[in-house]
Structure 1
Amino acid sequence: MPRRSFMIQRCLLALLLCSSLLCFADDKPQDWLPVTPQDLQMKEVPGDPGASAIQLYYADFIDHKKKNESLYYRIKVLNNKGLKYANVEIASGESWGVKDLKDLQARTIHPDGSIVPFSGTPFEKTVFKGKGIKLTELTFTLPEVTVGSIIEYKYRIEWKHQGGSDYWILQHDLFTVKEEFNLRAEPPSPQHQVKWVRLATEANPTPADKENTSLKLENIPAFIPEEYMPPEYNYKPSIRFFYLPQHYTYPDVFWNEMSRGFSYFFEDFAGNSKETKAEAQRVIGSETNSEKQLKLLYARAQQVRNLSYERRLSRQEEKREDIKENKHASEVLSRGYGNRNEINILFVALARAVGFNAAMVMVSSRRSRFFNQEVLSLGQFDSFFADVIVNGQHTYLDPGTRFCPYGLLRWMQTSTKGLRPSTWGANFVDIPPFGQEKAVIRRNATMAVAEDGSVKGSLVLQFEGIEALEHRLEAMDNDDAGTKKDLEEEVKAWLPSNAVVKLKDVHGLTGTDEPLIASFDLEVPSFASFAGKRLLLPSYLFLPKRKDAFNHETRKYPLYFPFAFSELDTISFKLPAGFTAESVPAKDDALLPYARYHNTSQLADGQLVTTRTLLFNGIFFETDKFPNLKAFFSKVQALDEQQAVFQQGSATAEKNPGRN
């Protein structure tokens, strides 16, 4: 997880940019609300009698003046599935921006009105650890929770910085009977004002006075997510808050001013030093081909020590290693270190030095939400990369991302919006997606069928392009044991639950252009079955991955895949001695304008060999495409689940021998 660039911080201060709102109410803990007879008598969710639980009350009060936020939850368990809500997890720790979590209180209210307070101590659980960053949660379990119980808890977050929370989420995973919100604002100056944007909602906050803005809602339906939908935050009703100078409150004005400010910053950082020019000329040497020149400069930029992918150093360690703040690209070059954004600006400076038309682009990640131009926050842009004109075409390049090959970007930074800063104003650009050839998984399994129906053998797994890049970056957060565990669990998820998977070796974890290759030993008990003298053998080893997205006839939300992809599989099964083919699945395929599937099974030298290709060249599909996609993936699943039938001894006939 790259650490925040000092450049962004400098620009935010220099440009008086919006800070996010946060925090909250009185220092005194809020009293428990009365438990009403209606609360105790509630038996089911209106319109959804099978719901596991109902949220009777929710409150979110943000106090910017005191840099805190208070939350209150009251949930009633309606059936056994709802008992899970007794287990509570709360994000905590400095990596979340949380300075302290105070006044945690919790209790269980039984159907007869008796109350059991929580008297235990929450324990801290690490949910992520890597490169000096540790994400933790406080977890606890409410006591004596049964069906019909009301579970209730509340706490106050003390935020480390002013910008801890800048939004209200209005819809939750449970039907909510009543919810309340309040924002107590403190603009950074008299020239600033609060602005809010409503996202996927018509609810309108009400200014209570000069400081407070509030909202009350009732009977909010549960948010029901769907498999393979875009990030939920794009569809959950919410309200985002900003502090802005009064003349920045219109989107065009805001983005134009931000663009000008960042343009001045980038130009100042890139510079035009003689040292950068000399190095760029040295790197390209006598090379005259423009793209080859650019690749040489790209490789030179990637030689710089990338601090974004190292453990975060303490101030004492930085002083000991003489790590200083870079203010210009020439310093990145001379000192030999920089963060990912600084390395990308250095690359632009090198490219310009030998005549390329190169600029920086600020890019928004679509990992958790899509860019929204009405949300006036630079927090939507989380990184920069280079835009270079090569042979008349815009080429987006990111040497500042570790292991990123020339011509590739991370998936969340494609098919999204970018901002190319300039002195004349905002220039938004569409960062295009990559095709399926840029994200490839190849699986080659060689298995033998035992007399008890189990299969045992080996798998060679090869990741290419985006798949290789993402696996390499994930491995940086792990030791060898963690990487082994992650790869084994990934393969296990493709196989029946009783499969045994053991990683043998892995090559290319620290590479850039070459594939990442991992080899495994596999064993799947009871994979094949016997019916008399017949052996029933699935022709394909792996389970369908996307069937949950197509279990229903209609969808509410679009279908969304992180990136286009290719799956190229060859599976061979060596048969037990004495078995001959009775039937083998016929060659078949499925086709859409943006997807292709092909499956062929053949017999050769006592082996059943299945070759499978799935090419999918799309990311986002509106609901009107769902019927076609459902038909396509239903056929893919049906063909993947076909079986070959073999007979012990001499078969009287062979049907569909698989050579048609």
Structure 2
Amino acid sequence: MKLNIVLFLLFLSPICFAQESYNSETFDVKLEDIRARGFSKDSSANAIVIYEQGSSYVDPNDYDLRTEIKRKIKLINKEGFDNANITIYLYKSKDSWEKVENIKASTHNEIAGKIVKSQILQKDIFTEDYDAHYTLTKFTLPNLKEGSVITYSYTIISPFMFKYHGWNFQSHIPKIYSEYKENIPGNWLYNVKLVGEQKLANHTSEIKKKCLEMGNGASADCGINIYAMRDIPAFIEEDYMTTKNNYLARLEYELKTFRGMDGTIKDYTKTWKDVDKEFKTEKEIGRQLRKSVNLEDLLPPEIINETNALKKAQAIYTYIQNNYTWNGDYRIFTDASIKDLIKTHSGNVSSINILLHNVLKEAKFDAKPVLISTRNNGFPTTIYPVISDFNYLITQVIINGETYFLDATDRFLSFGGIPFRCLNGQGRLLDFKNGSQWIDITPKTSTSIQYAADLTLNNDTSISGTIKSRNTGYKAINSKKNYYPNPNSYIDKLENQYPNLEIENHSILSEGKTSEDFIESYNVKLEFDNPEAKNLYLNPFISKFFTTNPFKLQERSYPIDFGYSATYFYSFKLNFDNTKFQILENPESKTLAIPNNKGLLIFSSQTFDNHIQLFIRINLSESLYPEEYYPYLKEFMNSVVHIQNNSLFLIQRK
């Protein structure tokens, strides 16, 4: 018996090894690539990139930028077949455009122990317009089967040297090997940025003499760099993150300077000092920011005549907020002028907030514009100016030594608040006198949910009482946006949070849409599922802060970005007649902390003669947690969800 087991294991080992024996060194497809059955480093993967290579260089004859791409992908199962749908984005301007040539694509399957190739036909390659800046070339690999290996290659020809081809090492599926080769003549100087947390497995550098020669005898040397990564995990998006482009492992290029063969030099990457000077005279922002406005034509007399500085600024903000409508456009540059906005009462982000800025300036306030890149747009480059990184503009005003950030596009914001979409780290304050600077735009106001239930267990086993809640900060904004458009729908959703719950006498105690908080009170009545039973089970969490754990990954390679710190507090009191009922079991209290005082969970449950009392406090004291805190946050949220879903009181009739 023992001998048979040993022989079986010896026989099994090569088979298991073969399942992982991928040829990740070359573009060529081997039988072991097709015969491999999965990927042990990511058992959930439906496809993997076995090998990919990119190479960019300036053609010595046509002097255009060429990028050759090769990619070999294993389709593990049918769910991975989407990776055989290939889309190539080709950039275009008014009079120039990129094109793609030499498309070759094949599907490789094993038949009777041999590799059989199914090649794509030219008629199955399609081109379509995408938007004003891109056209698309698309094709789908043929004859797909579970276990197929697909290969494709092509060359992009580009006249745009300012857009040197970047390279994504990481994607939505894992990669075994990814390599990129840059070949850049010395005439072009680029800022090269490696983004993401993944480390290079290899980086080599060399100089090639006279790689580019001109007809007049002039020549340039080339800097050749090869970057490579191995065993790159798939990037899986999860809650509480900004755009994935902030974290995907990749190379980015920004043209800094061009040096012509005739000795001319043109700088593309400028300093912020240069940019500040240009903004002063720039048509779409600089001139608009300096335009004077007639307060008497825009504002009611009571606002103009207000003598309290803070009240006057608040009134100006509210007036712009309520009388001008955001059209949903995020751009900071626009052909629409302040004059057009005043006429139509509708405009994009920059026009509305520039108008707010100009009115505040005209009213003698210290107001300045702030450029922002929103959470979905990505982090702006801070080392040097990249104006295209910004897509949003807000206004800063200083009153009595206090700094306020203002955005008049959202009618639910209170004075000094900016939308959640803007919480992306830093903004660039434009100061045309003293020079622009980076500033922190992290919200200073607190965000919290406070929820209190004071209930009574009646002799007929129904439960009735009052619930009060108060939300502040961004939780208040969310509640206001849910309530004011349709109060009846809002109440229906409250009732649906808990089975057999009825709500009466719902009232809002806060001041209105722009109040800094959202306070509500209502009466409730609820019934047990089996009111005649001797033993009654009650979950005291009528409202839950987190119904499921948002953190499900084994590990996370990017930060946890809540946008703001927050506190959650829930209290529950149930009064009862101790001659009719007794409490047999109540939930166990628990305390859990995130290391370095970054968060705290306190849960307490107590039973008295004629009432029971429970409370939970959740404190997430940071808006941003580095990825090393992920295991602690995952455990923390597991505890929060478990407490809310599984805390039960066992109540028995006497």
Relative to the length of structure 2, the TM-score reads: 0.64
Ranked by relative contact order (alpha carbons within 8 Å, sequence separation 6 or more), the top structure is 1
Q: Deviations over 1:151-185 (max 9, x none)?
A: 45678999999998963212334443444546799
Give 3-state SS (helix, strand or coil) of 1:409's partner: coil
Pairs within 5 Å for 1:212-361: 215=226, 217=228, 219-223=230-234, 231=242, 232-246=244-258, 253-265=270-282, 266-271=285-290, 273=292, 275-276=294-295, 279=298, 282=301, 284-309=303-328, 325-327=335-337, 329=338, 332-334=341-343, 336-361=345-370
Question: Cα 1:342–1:73, aligned 2, differ >3 Å: closer, same or farther?
Answer: same
2:185 and 2:501 map into 1 onto residues whose CA distance is 56
2:272–2:384 Cα contact (<8 Å) kept: no
Aligned to 1:57: 51
Cα distance change of structure 1 residues 268 and 391 upon mapping to structure 2, 3 Å threshold: same
Deviation string 1:169-209 (CA, Å, 9 cap, x unpaired) is 1233444344454679999xx9x754422335554687885
Partner of 1:169: 168
How far 1:410 moved relative to its partner?
1.9
Contact kept, 8 Å, 1:68 with 1:157, in 2: the verdict is yes
Q: 1:615 to 1:175 in 2, by over 3 A?
A: closer
TM-fit CA distance, 1:340: 1.6
One-letter amino acid of the structure 1 residue matched with residue 30 of structure 2: T
1:398 equivalent among 389, 403, 407: 407
* Within-5 A mapping of 1:1-40: 34-40=28-34
Correspondence for 2:148: 149
CA 1:428–1:348 in 2, change beyond 3 Å: closer, same or farther? same
Helix, strand or coil for the counterpart of 2:294? helix
Which amino acid letter does the alignment assign opposite residue 198 of structure 1?
A: L
1:85 is the counterpart of 2:80: yes
Partner of 1:197: 193
Distance 1:244 1:57, change over 3 A: same
Cα separation, 2, equivalents of 1:572 and 1:117: 71
Aligned pair 1:410/2:449, yes or no? no
Correspondences of 1:473-488 after superposition (within 5 Å): none
Alignment partners' CA distance in 2, 1:183 and 1:502: 66
Residue 622 of structure 2 aligns with which residue?
Answer: 618
Letter in 2 for 1:290: A
Which letter does structure 1 place at the counterpart of 2:166? Y
> In the alignment, which residue of structure 1 is the partner of 2:382?
373
Q: CA deviation at 1:358?
A: 1.0
Question: Are the equivalent residues in 2 in contact too, given 1:263–1:422 (CA < 8 A)?
Answer: no
In the TM superposition, residue 101 of structure 1 has moved relative to its aligned partner by 11
**Partner Cα distance (1:574, 1:551) in 2:** 42
SS of residue matched to 2:354: helix
Separation of aligned partners in 1, 2:166 and 2:547: 35
Residue correspondences, number: 569
Once the two structures are superposed, what CA deviation does each residue of 1:403-440 show, in whole Å capped at 9, x if it has no partner? 43321112342361221223467532332322573365
Contact 2:599 2:620 in 1 (8 A): yes
Show CA shifts across 1:572-605 (max 9, x none): 9999xx9752112266655674545454557899
Gaps of 5+ in 1: 1-31, 125-131, 313-323, 450-454, 651-660
- Aligned equivalents of 2:81, 2:466: Cα separation in 1: 43
Conserved 8 A contact 2:64-2:159: no
Superposed displacement of residue 117, structure 1: 6.2
Identity of aligned residues (%): 16
Conserved in 2, the CA contact under 8 Å of 1:417 and 1:431? yes
Q: Call closer, same or farther: CA 1:338–1:186 in 2, change over 3 Å.
A: farther
* Alignment RMSD: 6.3
Correspondence list, 1:418-437, <5 A: 418-423=427-432, 426-434=435-443, 437=446
- In the other structure, the counterpart of 1:317 is none
Unaligned runs of at least 5 residues, structure 2: 1-25, 213-219, 259-264
Alpha-carbon distance change, 644 to 160 in structure 1, aligned in 2, over 3 angstroms: farther
Tell me if structure 2 keeps the 8 A contact 1:110–1:150: yes
> Residues 512 and 54 from structure 1, CA distance in 2 versus in 1: closer, same or farther, beyond 3 angstroms?
same
Q: 1:74 aligns with which of 72, 75, 82?
A: 72
**How far 1:470 sits from its partner (Å)?**
6.2
Check conservation: 2:447, 2:472, Cα contact below 8 A: yes
- Higher mean alpha-carbon deviation, 47-56 vs 351-360, is at 47-56
Instruction: Report if aligned partners of 1:67, 1:159 keep a CA contact under 8 Å in 2.
Output: yes
Mapped contact 1:277–1:354 kept (Cα < 8 A): no
SS at match of 2:409: coil
Q: For the Cα contact (< 8 Å) 2:92–2:98, is it kept in 1?
A: no
C-alpha distance 555-61 of structure 1, shift in aligned 2 (>3 A):
closer
Query: Is the CA contact 2:51–2:177 (under 8 Å) kept in the aligned structure 1?
Result: yes
Question: Amino acid of the residue matched to residue 434 of structure 1?
Answer: P
- Number of the residue aligned with 1:561: 562
Counting only pairs closer than 5 Å after superposition, residues 480-629 of structure 1 correspond to structure 2 as: 511-513=513-515, 534-540=535-541, 542=544, 544=546, 547=549, 549=551, 557-569=558-570, 580-585=582-587, 593=597, 595-599=599-603, 611-622=615-626
Map Cα deviations across residues 220-248 of structure 1 (whole Å, 9 max, x no partner).
43246586675544443321112344578
Residue-by-residue CA offset, 1:32-53 (whole Å, 9 max, x unaligned): 9653345335455586688654
Is the alpha carbon distance of 1:534 and 1:385 closer, same or farther for their aligned partners in structure 2, counting shifts above 3 Å?
Answer: same
Aligned pair in 2 of structure 1 residues 92, 56: CA closer, same or farther (>3 Å)? closer
In 1, are the aligned partners of 2:545 and 2:568 still within 8 Å (CA)?
no
Q: CA deviation at 1:448?
A: 11
Q: Which has the higher mean CA deviation after the structures are superposed, 612-621 or 141-150?
A: 141-150
SS at match of 1:437: coil
Q: Give, in whole Å, the separation in 1 of the partners of 2:324 and 2:165.
A: 35
Deviation at 1:392? 1.0
TM-aligned CA distance change 1:611 to 1:263, over 3 Å: farther
The answer as to whether partners of 1:276 and 1:330 remain within 8 angstroms in 2 is no
Q: Are the aligned partners of 2:87 and 2:136 in contact in 1 as well (CA < 8 Å)?
A: yes
Q: How far apart are the structure 1 equivalents of 2:452 and 2:126?
A: 42
Give 1:114's aligned residue: 116
Partner of 1:636: 640
Shift of 1:259: 2.6
Amino acid at match of 2:250: S
